[in-house]
Amino acid sequence: MLNKVFLIGRLTRDPEIRFLPSGTQVTTFTLAVNRAYKTKDSSDWKEETYFFDVEAFGYLAERLGKQLNKGTQVLVEGQLRQDKWETPSGEKRSKIKIVADKVNMLSTARAEKQASAPEEPAIDFSDTEDFTSDEDVPF
């Protein structure tokens, strides 16, 4: 049986950190994933956004809790887990979550803000020495 998920998306909020009674750290966050498609009736592109709850445990949770923040783009590799419970009124409920095995940061919100900032002037290297032969190379 196979239960494997790969998703690329952005965090909708800063991760939440908590600890199990055993002392194991759990980090949770919500991932927004976009899906673009064309409709049959027209050539217009439509876009949908899906939201997935992600949980990480142990060392991975500790690392993610320190490194991730709202807007960070990540690749999540994990597996689906279905939580089931019953409400006080007796209604059965369930929710599917992703339990992360690996998470790779593809970009940070901070880096993207810097990229959209005005460019700094280029550094002028015209006064540097020009190496003309292999003997002049300093290594």
Domains of the chain, by residue range, sit at 5-110
Predicted confidence (pLDDT) per residue in 55-91, tens digit? 999 999 999 999 999 999 999 999 999 999 999 999 9
Dump the DSSP string for 57-107. Answer: EHHHHHHHHHH--TT-EEEEEEEEEEEEEE-TTS-EEEEEEEEEEEEEEEE
Domain 5-110 has CATH 2.40.340.10: no
Q: In terms of Cα–Cα distance, which of 37, 102, 29 is closest to 71? A: 29
- At 126, the pLDDT band (50, 70, 90 cuts) reads very low
Q: Residue 38: its pLDDT value, please?
A: 85
11-20, 41-50, 83-92 — which is least confidently predicted?
Answer: 41-50
